[in-house]
Amino acid sequence: MESTIKSKVITTFQLNGLTLRRDASQYLVSMLGSVPPEVLDPSLDIVIKNVQKLPLTSPMVDLATLEPIVAECMASGDDSSQGIFNVIDAFTVPHFTYNPDQRKLILKDSVKHSLFGSAEAKAQLFQDRYRVIQQRTLRHKLFAPQPLVSSERQQEGGFVLRPVEFLLGSSMRQGNVLSLGMLTQMKEGKYYLEDPSGSVQLDLSKTVSLDPAASYRGGIFTDHAFVLAEGFYEDHIFHVQTLGFPPLEPSSLTRRSGGCRQHFGTANLFGGPSSTTVKTNEKMRRLEANNPDAMIVILSDVWLDQIKVLEKLQVLFTGYANMAPVCFLLLGNFLSQPHGSHQPKVMKECLRKLAALIAEHPTLLEDSHFVFVPGPRDVGMANILPRPGLPDQVTEEFRRKVPKSVFTTNPCRLQWGTKEVVVLREDVGAKLCRSALYVPAEVTGATVARTLAANGHLLPLPLAAAPVFWPHDPALWLYPLPDLVVLGSRGASWGACPVAGCTFLYPGSFVINQFSFKVYMPASGDIEDSQIPSDT
């Protein structure tokens, strides 16, 4: 084992243009000997990145240079204090981009990003989305290149993706062309397909004239969604016959050992205190196995200014007093109607009443987390995502009375053991339909789920329809797909919809749906429909 680690250390340093002195090599091998095999490669990568940041005068690395770097890396990589449950706000989500030259996801430096980015950040936003979707598509069996096969549609049923510049550079008719790009309306009533190499005007009349159910495949096609367009190119126009979404990729395939591991390794792309993904964390697996009955109770549109809602919450807390959930996940809006300039005062008073209800149940106060995700009409900053949590001035008293309360961002992320949960409070289905080129005859939870999963994003919409702080767009990414995506809204519940190994959950409005809510069992992945009886 030691000889294998030594060989890997020497080879990796040489590939990065560095040479280890003998004593430095022996020291690093001895330190890496205690590292689990699944995190050996990322640990070695971290050491090399820190070495490369130093102002070295030669490629020779000695023991004096290496020792402080290894000590610092081991200290930062110690996850012993990580709990089984973690709340990750949107502004701490890791930022990563796909490097096509290295064919791997690169984590950007963890610097503090301002809310308002430069003009380059806006362009980079869509380029990063495209590159991640493109690499995912090209690794799919339908698009992966087959050896010794040169036909447009390969012998094994595969396809060849053409960039937009291939069409723009063609002087004659091109048939059976398949291209990946962003569907965008650059001019009123005229749609284009855009990728980093250029944009081409689309003729969708052939698509619309065919059976829409057969031509538009996979979900809701919105302005600024990434699509696969198939058709022919003639007279500087791409005549589209079929539109589809990029193929889905389960998280287990994205992170699997072997083929994709060299691209993604075990780096933590989700966020949280760990430096590596919790999927490979044995400590988390053991904690998960020891807590098979853990629960996360999910309620959306909890109107705290209505007496009836507080009465139902009292019944809810009483019911769970003897089996405290890990977390009560409460999604806004927290007020049933706007209160103008008095809204902060009204919200503060509502939280005071809620704290009094919780205080009646010491078990919940001690063992359960109370996580609040603001809605579009809640007090706070303008409705741009990611949206900060409720202001400290409003929540200070509640946080003092309920120590395990967390007023986090919208969207946010949760970790329980090895399970990853993404939470968004937004009327996603309605927004998608308003910006859609084509909407299926029946919009269901599965339709919305496929649209989001294929685009790897919570809101694949124009920035005018879904404003986003440009530098923090990765907080809305769905790649790799988590275990659960919670989409709170003010409408009816669509229940749970599994897509590509990920469950999309639509709890619906707590009030409108007769005080119904969802219970997520993270150990098993089960979701239970629950309701507070009307006669209580």
Predicted pLDDT of residue 285: 85
Mean pLDDT value across the chain: 87
Compare 320 and 58 and report the one with higher pLDDT.
320
Return the amino acid letter for 158. Answer: G
Predicted pLDDT of residue 137: 93
Compare 145 and 147 and report the one with higher pLDDT.
145
Choose among 294, 284, 280: nearest CA to 327. 294
* 359-377 per-position pLDDT tens digit: 999 999 999 999 999 999 9
Alpha-carbon span 256 to 297, nearest angstrom: 31
Predicted pLDDT of residue 5: 81
For residue 91, give the DSSP letter. Answer: G
* Residue 115 exposure: Cα atoms within 13 Å on the Cβ side: 9
* 210-239 per-position pLDDT tens digit: 566 667 767 899 999 999 999 999 999 999
Alpha-carbon span 342 to 352, nearest angstrom: 16
Cis peptide bond N-terminal to 322, omega within 30: no
Check whether 291 has a pLDDT greater than 50. Answer: yes
CA distances to 284, 359, 523 from 321, in Å: 26, 11, 21
Predicted pLDDT of residue 155: 42
| pLDDT-based confidence at residue 141 (cuts at 50, 70, 90) | confident
Compare 263 and 507 and report the one with higher pLDDT.
507
Question: Do the bridges between strand 327-331 and strand 369-373 make them parallel or antiparallel, or are there none, so unpaired?
Answer: parallel
Check whether 330 has a pLDDT greater than 90. Answer: yes
Choose among 153, 155, 157, 152: nearest CA to 141. 157
Check whether 78 has a pLDDT greater than 70. Answer: no
Length of the chain: 536
The CA radius of gyration of the chain, in Å to the nearest whole number, is: 25
Choose among 176, 281, 294: nearest CA to 238. 176
- What are phi and psi for residue 336, nearest 5 degrees? -75, -20
Predicted pLDDT of residue 461: 96
Predicted pLDDT of residue 89: 94
Q: What percent of the chain has pLDDT over 70?
A: 88
Return the amino acid letter for 127. Answer: Q
Predicted pLDDT of residue 257: 41
Predicted pLDDT of residue 264: 64
Compare 465 and 261 and report the one with higher pLDDT.
465
- Taking CB atoms within 8 Å and a gap of at least 24, the contacts of 285-288 are 285/417, 285/418, 287/84, 287/417, 288/84, 288/416, 288/417, 288/418, 288/419, 288/522, 288/523
